[in-house]
Amino acid sequence: MSGVAAGTCPAFPMPRDRAHPLAPPPELVALRDAAPVTRVTLWDGNSAWLISRYEDQRRLLADDRFSADVRRPGFPQSAAATATWFQRARPLMTMDNPEHDTLRRSMARAFTIRQVEALRPGVQRLVDDLLDEMLASGSPADLVPAFARPLPSLVICELLGVPYEDHDFFQATAATVVSTSSTLEQSSQAIDDLRRYVAALIKSRGQEPGADLLGSIISDQYLTGRYSLEETSAIALQLLLAGHDTTANMIALGTLALLQNPDQLALLVSGTAPVASAVEELLRFLNIVHTGRRRVALADVEIHGQVIAAGEGIIAPSDVSNREPGVFAQPDSLDLTRNPRNHLSFGYGIHQCLGAPLARMELQVAYGSLFSRIPSLRLATELANLRYRDDSVVYGVRELPVAWDQGAQA
């Protein structure tokens, strides 16, 4: 049997090494290399199988013998609060087919490459405005509230047609939902508040839905009677929440990674490394979804000689598989000249991230503009002073103090 003896299962998730905060936990790396199928203990005392190698993860995430439905017995929940969110709001990533494909098709047309590229000029304008404001306020600044956090919120608000003046509300409530330290009461209240907000917005636009994405959802799903108000609200809420927290953390953490690797940053600034390739490498290198993608077996499945029984959960942490030797050359090094489009940061199989084209485009514009406008950008504190979001399903920095030379920006 692969793994460890019962009663000695390591706890998951594992802590990161604070001397190397951008790397996966050392214990997780050791398990990938020595025991690719291992039982781990979760926060609630239950256990699940940790599947830590790249090819195994690809195979299992595409295998319909594993379910993403969080309501099934044995599903390995990441925390009580996030379990409440997934069970009540039922986002797309927790659905199996045929329900999954039906809903995904209704949302997919907004995220085609053609549709996303049409948004690029508008995203560029938003980026320029935010950088103008940050530069006008002067050095130093905290990049998280000045740039990384507002940009994805502005983009998703424009895409959906949601009033940006409400962004403080949904940012705060969304943070409560995805935090693994939120209580059940806090998470339930946040979900209720968000659903009421979105439902009210849908009803208020019922007579004149508009031409934005939310207007299309209202026209195609709600007014036709295809979905109820509650179901339409759930779709809109997924789109509202899915885009901003992951991308915001990726902007900040990617900026930190570039500042810590000045040789690679020089390649980006000079154009030697195309920004699109740089974004893919940063996604591989950082992989901010650090609590793993989770499934529950619907049938007995054997892997590496170990039978995962029906009703047992699995966890596939792509932060460690994205750094697997043999899959990526020198995987622990940031190399912006490679283009690792086969990374697993957006998942794999039917649940591969629907919004990946939008996230990629936002990151390309954000990194490209940030360092072309402010080539002297630097960290304004010691690395050891930074605080990280360990208590969330999305990893990131809580703040990122930066400084620059006055008058040096474009």
Residue 147 vs residue 175, higher pLDDT: 147
Directed axis angle between helix 244-259 and helix 262-270, to 10°? Answer: 110
Place 410 in a pLDDT band, splitting at 50, 70 and 90.
low
| pTM greater than the 0.85 cutoff | yes
SS3 label, residue 314? strand
Mean pLDDT on 311-340: 96
Place 63 in a pLDDT band, splitting at 50, 70 and 90.
very high
pLDDT tens, residue by residue, 243-258: 678 899 999 999 999 9
pLDDT confidence of residue 115: 86
Residues 379 and 259: beta-carbon distance below 8 Å: yes
Residue 52 vs residue 240, higher pLDDT: 52
pLDDT confidence of residue 306: 95
Residue 154 has pLDDT above 60, yes or no: yes
pLDDT confidence of residue 246: 87
- The residues near 207 (Cβ < 8 Å, ≥ 6 apart) are none
Place 1 in a pLDDT band, splitting at 50, 70 and 90.
very low
Q: How far apart are CA 95 and CA 89, in angstroms?
A: 11
β 47-51/313-316 pair status: parallel
DSSP H or E stretch at residue 50: strand 47-51
Place 42 in a pLDDT band, splitting at 50, 70 and 90.
very high
Residues 341 and 323: beta-carbon distance below 8 Å: no
Place 88 in a pLDDT band, splitting at 50, 70 and 90.
low
pLDDT confidence of residue 5: 43
Tell me the HSE value of 344 on the side-chain side, using a 13 A CA sphere.
28
| Mean pLDDT of the chain, nearest integer | 89
CATH superfamily of 26-403: Cytochrome P450 (1.10.630.10)
Q: Is the peptide bond before 98 cis (omega within 30 degrees of 0)?
A: yes
Place 6 in a pLDDT band, splitting at 50, 70 and 90.
very low
pLDDT confidence of residue 279: 97
pLDDT confidence of residue 216: 81
Q: How far apart are CA 30 and CA 167, in angstroms?
A: 41
Radius of gyration of the chain from its Cα atoms, rounded to whole angstroms: 21
Residues 314 and 300: beta-carbon distance below 8 Å: no
DSSP H or E stretch at residue 84: helix 80-89
SS3 label, residue 394? strand
What single DSSP character describes residue 24? Answer: P
pLDDT tens, residue by residue, 159-209: 888 887 887 787 778 777 766 677 778 877 887 888 888 888 888 888 888
Q: How far apart are CA 146 and CA 378, in angstroms?
A: 15
Mean pLDDT on 221-243: 80
What six digits make up the tokens of 113? 């490459």
Q: In this prediction, what percent of the chain has a pLDDT beyond 70?
A: 94
Q: How far apart are CA 23 and CA 28, in angstroms?
A: 10
Which residues lie across from 296 on neighbouring strands?
A: 67, 313
SS3 label, residue 334? coil
pLDDT confidence of residue 81: 66
pLDDT confidence of residue 2: 39
What single DSSP character describes residue 208? Answer: -
pLDDT tens, residue by residue, 351-395: 999 989 999 999 999 999 999 999 999 999 999 999 999 888 889
Q: In this prediction, what percent of the chain has a pLDDT beyond 90?
A: 60
pLDDT confidence of residue 302: 96
Q: How far apart are CA 366 and CA 343, in angstroms?
A: 21
pLDDT confidence of residue 235: 79
Burial class (CB in 10 A: 0-12, 13-18, 19+), 224: exposed
Q: How many CB atoms lie within 10 A of CB 368?
A: 20
349's torsion region: left (phi>0), alpha (psi -120 to 50) or beta? Answer: left
Q: How far apart are CA 274 and CA 175, in angstroms?
A: 33
Residues 69 and 99: beta-carbon distance below 8 Å: no
**Whats the size of the chain, residue-wise?**
410
Which residues lie across from 37 on neighbouring strands?
A: 51
Q: How far apart are CA 408 and CA 309, in angstroms?
A: 61
pLDDT confidence of residue 161: 80
